[in-house]
């Protein structure tokens, strides 16, 4: 169970216990027993009324405590100083009123003026002191009162970032601190993906469960499972945003659309793709890699492969090699907020073209620079279609 929710439940228990305690004290002490205006009631009724009076006072105190705990240290100190000065001023003026003769000021009027003046001066001092409390310089107290709010560092993991797997590598390096929160509805969605009839989705879901287990096995991480759910909200993305607003947490995701919606709703987002965009790519143009051509690309005679982390590799002239493993020469690596894409061509074609360019001195109608510009234009078109 989440520590935050546990702390809230403990506070709620203390408040309810305080209200019950004051109600019980009112019932036992019966402060209304000698009240003449309640002469029509018997003693048992007066005990019940005293118990209700104690409960009402306790509820008022709890409401005041809930409001005060949100105030800053400077506001509380200003309010305390202002109210004390107001009470002192009311006391001095009350002494002046009490010193008057009874004929000039009746005794009832003296009592009324004294009590009213005490409440008035205390209220004015409290409000003015709280409003001007920000002008207090607490540094002269030697740091006894420091207004540093301990903000818990919560990070909510999305399904996409769990399946991606790079979050485990980032966490193991120590760059991901705080408490990692995994909502129960994310676990249900991950389980549904792992049980999907589609083999591709099933493999991604199982990969996500493996990554979760890897995160839980990391003793340096604080992993919390949250049971909080929002039955009125159907979409998982909106549930993540609601939970982020409730816990004042950061959402960790790879979903580009969730990134934008969260920012519009005022919830901070950590995008692993943006982190990868700030770092150097894994492969560089000119390097070789061995990939499995899985399917046909969007352009003519293209093949598409995927790395273990889900990175798409688009290979020119690789349609005939679908279902086979091929050596690919990387031509370019493009990193966007939606993910990383690698473009390449078959290694044998790269060697053949280099041999051809060095041995053939006859100008072609299509120069290498023209072919390079055409290839870059085709890559840009593919990215626009994917996004």
Domain at 307, CATH number: 2.40.50
Task: Look at residues 141, 170, 187 and tell me which one is the last residue of a structural domain.
Answer: 141
* Together in a domain, 333 and 251: no
Q: Which of 299, 385, 286 is nearest to 342 (CA)?
A: 286
* Together in a domain, 221 and 119: no
* Together in a domain, 240 and 337: no
Pairing of strands 325-336, 288-296: antiparallel
* Together in a domain, 229 and 323: no
Residue 243 lies in a domain: yes
Q: Which of 220, 218, 196 is nearest to 207 (CA)?
A: 196
Q: What is the mean pLDDT of residues 209-225?
A: 86
Residue 1 lies in a domain: no
* Together in a domain, 116 and 137: yes
Partnered with residue 314 across adjacent β-strands are 304, 343
Which pLDDT value is given to residue 365? 44
Residue 381 lies in a domain: yes
DSSP 134: G
Domain count, the chain: 3
Residues 259-306 pLDDT 10s: 888 888 888 888 888 777 776 556 778 888 888 999 988 888 899 998
> What is the greatest pairwise CA distance in the chain?
126
Task: Look at residues 278, 303, 323 and tell me which one is the last residue of a structural domain.
Answer: 278
DSSP 149: -
The CATH number that applies at residue 168 is: 3.40.50.1010
Residues 74-104 pLDDT 10s: 788 888 888 898 889 888 887 877 776 656 5
Residue 239 lies in a domain: yes
Which pLDDT value is given to residue 304? 92
Mean pLDDT of the chain: 78
Q: What is the mean pLDDT of residues 54-73?
A: 80
Residue 320 lies in a domain: yes
| Helices (H), ranges, the chain | 3-29, 43-68, 73-98, 107-131, 159-164, 166-172, 184-194, 199-216, 236-247, 256-264, 272-278, 347-359, 368-386
pLDDT classification of 363: cutoffs 50, 70, 90: very low
* Together in a domain, 177 and 217: yes
3 state DSSP class of 305: strand
Residue 198 lies in a domain: yes
* Together in a domain, 46 and 114: yes
pLDDT classification of 144: cutoffs 50, 70, 90: low
| ∠ CA 345-282-291, rounded to 5° | 40
Which of these ranges, 60-69, 235-244, 279-288, has the smallest mean pLDDT? 279-288
Cβ–Cβ contacts within 10 Å for residue 28, how many? 11
Which pLDDT value is given to residue 150? 45
* Together in a domain, 136 and 177: no
Residue 293 lies in a domain: yes
Output the pTM of the full model.
0.41
Task: Look at residues 278, 310, 340 and tell me which one is the last residue of a structural domain.
Answer: 278
pLDDT of 356 > 60? The answer is no
User: Could you tell me if 315 and 345 are in contact, meaning their C-beta atoms sit under 8 angstroms apart?
Assistant: yes
C-alpha torsion angle, residues 351, 355, 361, 366 (rounded to 10): -10
* Together in a domain, 259 and 293: no
* Together in a domain, 177 and 249: yes
Residue 46 lies in a domain: yes
pLDDT of 341 > 70? The answer is yes
* Together in a domain, 97 and 19: yes
* Together in a domain, 218 and 310: no
Q: Which domain holds residue 247?
A: 154-278
C-alpha 291/C-alpha 307 separation (Å) is 7
């Amino acid at each position: 169970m989440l520590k935050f929710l546990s702390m809230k439940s403990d506070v709620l228990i203390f408040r309810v216990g305080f209200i019950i305690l004051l109600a019980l004290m009112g019932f036992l002490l019966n402060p209304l027993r000698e009240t003449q205006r309640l002469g029509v009631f018997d003693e048992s009724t007066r005990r019940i009324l005293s118990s209700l009076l104690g409960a009402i006072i306790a509820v008022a105190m709890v409401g005041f405590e809930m409001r005060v705990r949100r105030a800053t240290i400077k506001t509380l100190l200003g309010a305390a100083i202002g109210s004390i000065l107001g009470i002192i001023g009311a006391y001095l003026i009350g002494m002046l009123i009490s010193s008057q003769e009874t004929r000039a000021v009746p005794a009832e009027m003296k009592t009324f003026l004294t009590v009213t003046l005490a409440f008035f001066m205390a209220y004015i001092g409290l409000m003015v002191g709280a409003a001007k409390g920000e002008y207090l310089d607490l540094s002269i107290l030697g740091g006894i009162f420091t207004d540093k709010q301990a903000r818990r560092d919560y990070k909510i993991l999305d399904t996409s970032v769990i399946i991606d797997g790079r979050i485990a590598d980032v966490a193991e390096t120590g760059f991901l601190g705080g408490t990692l929160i995994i909502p129960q509805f994310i676990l249900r969605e991950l389980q549904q993906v792992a049980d999907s009839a589609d083999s591709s989705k099933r493999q991604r879901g199982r990969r996500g469960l493996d990554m979760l287990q890897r995160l839980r096995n990391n003793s340096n991480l604080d992993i919390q499972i949250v049971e909080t759910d929002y039955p009125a909200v159907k979409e998982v993305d909106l549930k993540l945003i609601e939970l982020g607003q409730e816990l004042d947490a950061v959402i960790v995701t790879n979903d580009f659309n969730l990134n934008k919606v969260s920012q519009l709703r005022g919830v901070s987002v950590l995008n692993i793709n943006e982190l990868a965009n700030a770092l150097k790519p894994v492969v560089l143009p000119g390097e070789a890699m061995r990939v499995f051509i899985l399917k046909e690309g969007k352009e003519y005679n293209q093949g598409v492969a995927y790395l273990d982390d889900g990175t798409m590799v688009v290979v020119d002239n690789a349609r005939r090699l679908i279902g086979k493993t091929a050596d690919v020469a990387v031509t370019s690596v493009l990193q966007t907020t939606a993910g990383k894409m690698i473009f390449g061509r078959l290694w044998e074609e790269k060697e053949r073209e280099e041999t051809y360019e060095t041995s053939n001195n006859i100008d072609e109608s299509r120069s290498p620079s023209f072919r390079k510009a055409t290839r870059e234009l085709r890559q840009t078109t593919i990215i626009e279609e994917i996004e």
